[in-house]
Amino acid sequence: MASTQTKGKIGVTTENIFPVIKQFLYSDKDIFIREIVANAVDATQKIKALASSGDFKGDLGNTDIRIELDEDKKVLKVRDSGVGMTEEEVDRFINQIAFSSAGEFLEKYKDQIGSIIGHFGLGFYSAFMVSKKVTIDTLSWKEGATAVKWSCDGSPEYKMGESTKKTRGTVITMYLDDDCAEYASRTKIQDLLYKYCKFMPVKIIFGKEQEWKDGKYVDTDKDNVINNIEPIWTKAPADLKEEDYMKFYRDLYPTEEDPMFYIHLNVDYPFNLTGVLYFPKIKERMAIDKHKIQLYCNQMFVTDHVDNIVPDFLTLLHGVIDSPDIPLNVSRSYLQSDRNVKMISTYITRKVADRLEEIFKEQRAQLEEKWDNIKLFIEYGMLSDEKFGERGVKFALLKNTEGKYFSIDEYKNAVAPTQTDKDKKVVFLYATNLQEQYSRIEQAKNLGYDVLLLDCELDSHFVNLLEQKIEDCRFCRVDSDNAENLIPKQEEVKPEMSEEDKKTLDELLKSVLPAGNDYFVEARNLGEQAAPVTITQSEFMRRFREMSALSGGMNYYREMPESYNIIVNMQNPVIARIWADRENNGTLLKQVADLALLENGMLKGKDLADFIARSRELLK
Ligand code: ADP
Ligand code: MG
């Protein structure tokens, strides 16, 4: 080590890297803390590794990383007892920035720069985003090394000389910029350390814990420890209890309700990935926060935007993924086509399905209890991911209008004896609203049928999916036909009527129904007990409309008038009476039609008032 001070220019090919760093990283200055602390962690782990391999024979001593802030002087120090650097190493690692044309690179990737910076040897230089001057005091572990002091005031010139540092390791001193005064705050630094360093694998201490005394906060003599060096995802599942997973969740999301289930991820071939994912309690799709999965790289926080790393439906999960194999140095759109990322995504999907299947088999009661809160997630997954869709058919549950749960297979077997139609298809009857479709549900039940409740916002899509996945099955909403006709068991014998009579019936009915809709009037023989007039909407048309409403497109179909089938039961005694004297039974027909409208919740306003008045009149 030369005793005279040396000066030099930092070896980057761009004229001056500092303006570039300051300009492009402006939006994400906060990450400097992660970079500086991560270097301290790296250096500490290196010395530990050297000690355990026997290369370093000295005393390891206390290897905690200490962070000190002087709020008044606006100076932040990060102190480690790691490997340190020799003069030659400072020159190589700090002065010769590890890659060429940094400026060009930064320009190209400025959007994802936050996650890149650490991976291109720019990590240390991020200190200049917030500092007007940075110094390094470092003493290498190597025998005979002398301490080095390096300093740089933000121009491309650095100074290098001797340091007075006596102990092994490195101190990075950041003299905070005047326009970065916000970092000269204990709470700010504390928040950043929590965000970025909470699970780093070496103990990090930020000053002392404080207590409220005589009207202000004062230091106690207890170290303020920032991180948990062994978060649960680094441990073996066999060593953990349910309670450990729940506690970890509460640590991560102190304000959230307890999760429904968890999944421990742990794989080391062909890629390395660990993590714990949680199913949050989901009630409404809109209310879901999609940025609750945190991505780590060897316990270093990288991002909470994992959109291109896990399939979209899995971004609804919460938790942590840690993988050194997710490339962070590429653009976001490239990520999706990366081989590792694809495998990771497939792996996670498979693990989630495995776990759900396991819960289905071993904790059925719990699954039923929590089903309503995870159903949206599972349906979304099955609809958006083909593989998950195939797996889901095994563990997805169906709930009937009595609140009983069935697997899809169980349900099919249960209803097949009574609900198989003339075409040998098992008909799954369903309602979407218990109140509005009450009388239809009752009518179906009276015929010995079971009715499912599908009241979730994705259900109209889900029904289509299930029809494809389940063999010989068809879904049918309870109000899509006359109860007697929902599951036709044999070819129907239609009433014999002349074309002219059909036309008369058509006109009669249309004259008593509200204008503005399309009606298809149909005469049927449904027996004396069945209702005189029933209004239904074809399953097909209704689903089509619902789906176009959900997807927001295909306006053409949404703007078409609603069309209804008007089923007139010619065998019903009232209809027989009306039909026999059709010229003089207008009031009675109106009454019968209004009853059908009422049953469908379609009788409103003046029509409803008129109906009530007319009914009172008829009762006299
Ligand atoms: P990276 O960490 O990606 O290698 P950095 O710019 O963060 O890039 O650091 C450059 C190099 O400087 C590190 O690889 C390491 O060799 C050295 N270095 C930085 N900080 C320390 C430290 N606290 N102790 C020892 N070496 C360090
Ligand atoms: Mg680094």
Using one digit for the tens of pLDDT, what is the confidence trace for 265-297?
999 888 899 999 999 887 665 566 677 899 898
The CB of 77 under 6 Å from ligand 1? The reply is no
The hierarchical CATH code for the domain 6-209 is: 3.30.565.10
Q: How confident is the model at residue 465 (pLDDT cuts 50, 70, 90)?
A: very high
In sequence order, what E strands does 46-147 have?
65-70, 75-80, 131-139
Residue predicted with more confidence, 309 or 82: 82
pLDDT in tens, 238-252: 999 999 999 999 999
Contact 457, 376 (CB under 8 A): yes
pLDDT in tens, 433-444: 999 999 999 999
Q: What is the pLDDT of residue 283?
A: 62
Percent of the residues in the chain that have a pLDDT greater than 90, as a whole number = 62
Q: Which amino acid is at 208?
A: K
Q: How many Å lie between the centroid of ligand 2 and the Cα of residue 197?
A: 13
The CB of 41 under 6 Å from ligand 1? The reply is no
Instruction: Tell me the β-bridge partners of 473.
Output: 426
Q: What is the pLDDT of residue 464?
A: 92
The hierarchical CATH code for the domain 499-619 is: 1.20.120.790
Q: What is the pLDDT of residue 4?
A: 65
Contact 158, 100 (CB under 8 A): no
Instruction: Tell me the β-bridge partners of 80.
Output: 170
The CB of 83 under 6 Å from ligand 1? The reply is yes
Residue nearest ligand 1's atom 16 by CA: 93
Q: What is the pLDDT of residue 446?
A: 95
Q: How many Å lie between the centroid of ligand 2 and the Cα of residue 112?
A: 17
Q: Kindly report the average pLDDT of the chain as a whole number.
A: 87
Cα–Cα distance between 339 and 350 in angstroms, integer?
16
Q: Which range in 98-112, 299-313, 346-360 is most confidently predicted, on average pLDDT?
A: 346-360
The CB of 47 under 6 Å from ligand 1? The reply is no
The CB of 118 under 6 Å from ligand 1? The reply is yes
Six-digit token string for 251: 């640590």
Cα–Cα distance between 381 and 394 in angstroms, integer?
14
Q: How confident is the model at residue 14 (pLDDT cuts 50, 70, 90)?
A: very low
Q: How many Å lie between the centroid of ligand 2 and the Cα of residue 517?
A: 69
The CB of 170 under 6 Å from ligand 1? The reply is yes
Average confidence (pLDDT) over 451-463: 91
Contact 350, 368 (CB under 8 A): no
The hierarchical CATH code for the domain 232-344 is: 3.30.230.80
Instruction: Tell me the β-bridge partners of 453.
Output: 431
Average confidence (pLDDT) over 485-510: 90
Six-digit token string for 610: 């008129």
Residue 13 has pLDDT above 60, yes or no: no
Instruction: Tell me the β-bridge partners of 568.
Output: 523, 533
List, as ranges, residues with CB under 5 A of the ion ligand 2.
39, 123
Region for residue 272 given its phi and psi (left: phi exceeds 0; alpha: psi -120 to 50; beta: otherwise) = beta
Q: Which distant-in-sequence residues (6+ apart) come within 8 Å of 371 by Cβ?
A: 397, 399, 405
Q: What is the pLDDT of residue 324?
A: 84
The CB of 91 under 6 Å from ligand 1? The reply is no
Q: What is the pLDDT of residue 119?
A: 46
Residue nearest ligand 1's atom 14 by CA: 93
Mode of pairing for the β-strands spanning 204-213 and 65-70:
parallel
Q: How confident is the model at residue 334 (pLDDT cuts 50, 70, 90)?
A: low
Helix 459-469 to helix 386-395 angle (10° resolution) is 80
Residue 574 has pLDDT above 60, yes or no: yes
Instruction: Determine the Cα angle at 353 with ends 349 and 355, to 5°.
Output: 115
Q: How many Å lie between the centroid of ligand 2 and the Cα of residue 41?
A: 9
pLDDT in tens, 58-103: 999 999 999 999 999 999 999 999 999 999 999 888 887 633 334 5
Contact 20, 120 (CB under 8 A): no
Residue nearest ligand 1's atom 13 by CA: 93
Helix then strand count (H, E) for the chain reads: 21, 22
Q: How many Å lie between the centroid of ligand 1 and the Cα of residue 359?
A: 45
Percent of the residues in the chain that have a pLDDT greater than 70, as a whole number = 87
Residue among 17, 42, 148, 171 whose CB has most ligand 1 atoms within 8 A, to mutate: 42
Q: How many Å lie between the centroid of ligand 2 and the Cα of residue 71?
A: 25
Cα–Cα distance between 43 and 602 in angstroms, integer?
74
Residue nearest ligand 1's atom 17 by CA: 93
Q: What is the pLDDT of residue 116?
A: 44
Residue 21 has pLDDT above 70, yes or no: no
Ligand 1 atom with the smallest distance to the CA of 119 is 3
Query: Residue ranges of the domains in the chain?
Result: 6-209, 232-344, 396-485, 499-619
Q: For residue 124, what is the DSSP state?
A: G
Average confidence (pLDDT) over 468-476: 94
Q: What is the pLDDT of residue 553?
A: 56
Q: How confident is the model at residue 115 (pLDDT cuts 50, 70, 90)?
A: very low
Q: How many Å lie between the centroid of ligand 1 and the Cα of residue 468?
A: 56
Average confidence (pLDDT) over 553-559: 58
Q: Which distant-in-sequence residues (6+ apart) come within 8 Å of 49 by Cβ?
A: none
Residue predicted with more confidence, 46 or 555: 46
Q: Do domains 232-344 and 499-619 have the same CATH topology?
A: no
Residue predicted with more confidence, 517 or 353: 353
Element (H, E) at 563: strand 563-569
pTM of the model: 0.78
Instruction: Determine the Cα angle at 384 with ends 379 and 387, to 5°.
Output: 90
The CB of 80 under 6 Å from ligand 1? The reply is yes
Cα–Cα distance between 376 and 430 in angstroms, integer?
17
pLDDT in tens, 30-41: 889 988 999 999
Q: What is the pLDDT of residue 542?
A: 81
Ligand 1 atom with the smallest distance to the CA of 125 is 6
Residue among 39, 122, 148, 168 whose CB has most ligand 1 atoms within 8 A, to mutate: 39
Instruction: Tell me the β-bridge partners of 210.
Output: 219
Q: How many Å lie between the centroid of ligand 2 and the Cα of residue 38?
A: 6
Residue 6: how many other CB atoms lie within 10 Å: 12
The hierarchical CATH code for the domain 396-485 is: 3.40.50.11260
The CB of 431 under 6 Å from ligand 1? The reply is no
The CB of 121 under 6 Å from ligand 1? The reply is yes
DSSP 574-594: HHHHHHHTTTS-HHHHHHHHH
Give 348's Cβ-side CA count (13 Å radius).
31
The CB of 85 under 6 Å from ligand 1? The reply is yes
Q: How confident is the model at residue 456 (pLDDT cuts 50, 70, 90)?
A: confident
Alpha-helical (H) ranges within 269-407 are 332-335, 339-362, 364-384, 386-395
pLDDT in tens, 122-138: 678 889 889 999 999 99
Q: Is 298 helix (H, G, I), strand (E, B) or coil?
A: coil
Six-digit token string for 248: 């970890």
